[in-house]
Structure 1
């Protein structure tokens, strides 16, 4: 349950420093967690990014202050982290549905966003389908791109799905699939572990390289933008994601954090996690999610 305690510490820290210049990286440092893992864990558990939480809390408090005091809009803007009254007004209106000047009028409806509190509730009592796998070193040939850590689970962010679409439309994925035999043209979505000091992670689209993969000229493939991605021997927990889109992957991550970790005595391991999109999968199966883990 240590990760739950860390998340509550993170929330407490954000609440204590709402009027300071902080972001999710500062919060991650405070709880001695990588910014990548904190951002992903918090956004999955809270349903929003840490930066969005800070922004919403500030705007909620700004609304209360404008309604209850004679503070000027420009002063409220500066107090709650906005460089100009115009940027504050835009954010305030988007959040509350009215501009700051109307918040001062009696009877105006404002949006209240209360602090998050993590509560331990009764879990279990229902099935949780998973399996454990150990994989030796694996090699993939893939297309990879760097993405901002902040893009993970950020509401409205479609950068990774857009990356898939872009690669499909340019026929780059089909080149990879042709390296594999019929019936085994499975695609992998590879997500790199966090690297200390980096604000980005890498996501790759590829196929596995094994004895059944056609021989290819690595240098020529690299000139075309492909690269080799290697994973070391690792234990994984595997979830089957059934659904019509990527929402089922998010649901599996929630199950991993809320049910698997607290009950099974494991913690996430700092290695590549990936999805497998099968050429011939089960009916309704969107993908399999492979998450690296280790015993606590």
Structure 2
């Protein structure tokens, strides 16, 4: 219950500040985690990034106000954080499919995104095999793509990225540099998270002294404590969600 209470406290804060500045530091503080951890965890739990959730809630409330009050469009736009009527109009139309002024028309169809709450559901009935290891720093090399933090888009973009690497010979090139001919074994690295995207690297371990072509990117992974989970490849996406919602929620790790 403690984890649920913390997450709902964070959502309470967001809801009460939709017409004001929202501090990501405060959200993370209420959830008792770092901003980095909260921003990574939120999309896996909800299927939408934190910034997108806030945007949808603000535009939902903006539509309600335009429908039920005589407020000017510019005043509603400023109230919900838009610096100009043009920016508000673009965002409103992208979400609702109509111009803000049309929200007052009879019979107009608008979208409403309800406030999120976190509740108990029955989980934990399936075991998760993991181990904790301390590993020294190491390097990987490969190629990367910018992937959206919107979960639905990411689930489409990542397979397309893998397919492209297979078709253009990148996967083979990575393994051939390591002396692995006719081998399609690779690993993945996810890093450089922003509010809207992250880098997804198709890569492999870089041995000391190996010279690699300039077309590949090198990434240094610092010495860290690792949680290593055993998971079939076909269940990777569902395991990511279980790690964030079940394992982190009950472990002492962040």
TM over 0.5: yes
Structure with greater contact order relative to length (CA < 8 Å, sep ≥ 6): 2
Matches within 5 A, 1:93-104: 93-104=93-104
Whole-angstrom CA distance in 1 between matches of 2:29 and 2:146:
20
Residue in structure 2 matching 1:152, options 141, 149, 152 = 149
Gaps of 5+ in 2: none
Per the alignment, do residues 40 and 163 of structure 1 end up closer, same or farther by CA in structure 2, a change over 3 Å counting?
A: same
* Residue in structure 1 matched with residue 203 of structure 2 by the alignment: 206
Q: Aligned-pair distance for 1:81?
A: 1.5
* Residue in structure 1 matched with residue 114 of structure 2 by the alignment: 114
* Residue in structure 2 matched with residue 19 of structure 1 by the alignment: 19
- The 3-state SS of whatever aligns with 2:231 is strand
Per the alignment, do residues 121 and 61 of structure 1 end up closer, same or farther by CA in structure 2, a change over 3 Å counting?
A: same
Q: Aligned-pair distance for 1:252?
A: 1.3
Greater helix share, structure number: 2
- Length, aligned pairs only: 251
Whole-angstrom CA distance in 2 between matches of 1:70 and 1:190:
51
Whole-angstrom CA distance in 1 between matches of 2:72 and 2:20:
20
1:266 equivalenced with 2:251 (yes/no):
yes
Matches within 5 A, 1:121-270: 121-124=121-124, 126=125, 128-135=126-133, 137=135, 139-143=138-142, 151-153=148-150, 155-157=152-154, 171-178=169-176, 179-181=178-180, 186-192=185-191, 203-208=200-205, 217-218=209-210, 220-221=211-212, 225-227=216-218, 229-230=220-221, 232=223, 234-243=225-234, 248-262=235-249, 265-269=250-254
Q: Aligned-pair distance for 1:237?
A: 4.0
Q: Structure 1, residues 228-269: CA drift from partner, whole Å, max 9, x if none?
A: 6346464524142453xxxx433212222333345xx42445
- The 3-state SS of whatever aligns with 1:10 is helix
Q: CA RMSD for the aligned pairs? A: 3.7
Whole-angstrom CA distance in 1 between matches of 2:73 and 2:206:
60
Q: Aligned-pair distance for 1:15?
A: 0.9
Per the alignment, do residues 28 and 37 of structure 1 end up closer, same or farther by CA in structure 2, a change over 3 Å counting?
A: same
* Residue in structure 2 matched with residue 43 of structure 1 by the alignment: 43
Q: Aligned-pair distance for 1:26?
A: 5.6
Whole-angstrom CA distance in 2 between matches of 1:133 and 1:182:
31
Whole-angstrom CA distance in 1 between matches of 2:165 and 2:233:
24
Per the alignment, do residues 181 and 134 of structure 1 end up closer, same or farther by CA in structure 2, a change over 3 Å counting?
A: farther
Greater strand share, structure number: 1
Per the normalisation by structure 2, the TM-score is 0.77
Per the alignment, do residues 155 and 21 of structure 1 end up closer, same or farther by CA in structure 2, a change over 3 Å counting?
A: farther
CA contact (8 A) 1:65 1:71 kept: yes
CA contact (8 A) 2:172 2:183 kept: no
CA contact (8 A) 2:142 2:174 kept: no
